[in-house]
Amino acid sequence: MTDYYSVLGINKGSSDDEIKKAYRKQAMKYHPDRNEGDSKAESKFKDISEAYAVLSDKKKRREYDQFGSEGFHQKFSQEDIFRDFDVNDILRGFGFGGNPSQGRGGFPGGGNHFQRPHPESVKPPTLIKDLSIGFEEAALGAQRNIAISRNGVVEETSIKIPSGISNGKILRLHGKGHLSPDGKNQGDLHLKIRVLPHPLFSRDAQNVIVNSDIKLTDALLGTTIEVQTLNGIKSVKIPSGTQNNSKLRLKEVGIKSSTGVQGDQLVNIKIAIPKNLTEEQIKHIQYLKDTGI
């Protein structure tokens, strides 16, 4: 994935003014009007404009710094990046000149471009699909091959499911959607994630929740039980006097967020009350009751 700071030749701690100066310097160098017929300069100009569109926007920059390049591009499409970004207005502010007569359109999302786009080169619309995944795939991440129908042709596409993705999130894959009529451009693929229910685990943000049944006597006297986690079996000590619906916390065995924060696992204790007692058991329990327990 592209590092926007490297593209502009700055570091992550650069100020807004330093970002603007870096973009101005490179935009003046690589602008197509100064590099006619140079496809590499045109590509470089697009890259620095994309980097500036993100880093000059406080909200987008904050998201980029928090989630990194891969996480950012899963959340923001090209249309999102260039929405409300007008390169000609920016260049005019630098004293370059711009070309307002070309209207809006060219950069994805509506920003002005340096040349008029041809109809056959317009980026295809976003391809939107639902994708059902298992709880473990959502929690731990996975590599999946899925069948996608593009322009009437079904093809297998390899995708990476990031760890920690939650139900209902949109996984945005750049350049995995429909092809343009001339085959030069490919749109984005948006996958709406549906996490299937798990027979054992449930989720609360980055925490995994699991129920565990114990006997009444174990709740009173204490014991050690084995609990299933995403990373295998863990031994958990049940202290004496544990109450029903108590929650025991297993540190850092939950779901890791996109920022690297590891959640916990909460073990919800369910005390099983016996339905059928022998006369001997009733006698002992009555004795305990008489002693004030």
Domain with residue 135: its CATH number is 2.60.260.20
Q: Do 91 and 12 belong to one domain?
A: yes
pTM over 0.85: no
Q: Do 15 and 88 belong to one domain?
A: yes
Alpha carbon distance 118, 130 (integer Å): 32
Mean pLDDT of 259-267: 90
Tokens of 1: 């994935």
Q: Do 190 and 216 belong to one domain?
A: no
Mean pLDDT of 266-272: 96
pLDDT score for 94? 58
How many structural domains comprise the chain?
Answer: 3
Q: Which residues pair with 145 in a beta bridge?
A: 158
- DSSP-derived 3-state class of residue 50: helix
* CATH number assigned to the domain comprising residue 54: 1.10.287.110
Contact (CB, 8 A) for 202 and 224: no
pLDDT score for 183? 66
User: pLDDT-derived band of residue 96, with 50, 70 and 90 as boundaries?
Assistant: low
More confident residue, 101 or 240: 240
Contact (CB, 8 A) for 238 and 222: yes
Q: Do 188 and 229 belong to one domain?
A: no
pLDDT(79) > 80: no
User: pLDDT-derived band of residue 92, with 50, 70 and 90 as boundaries?
Assistant: low
Question: pLDDT tens, 41-74?
Answer: 888 988 998 999 899 989 889 888 887 887 787 7
pLDDT score for 99? 47
Residue tagged 């449930």 (tokens): 202
Mean pLDDT of 8-34: 89
Cα-Cα end-to-end distance for the chain: 64
More confident residue, 86 or 216: 216
User: pLDDT-derived band of residue 31, with 50, 70 and 90 as boundaries?
Assistant: confident
187 found inside a domain: yes
More confident residue, 20 or 119: 20
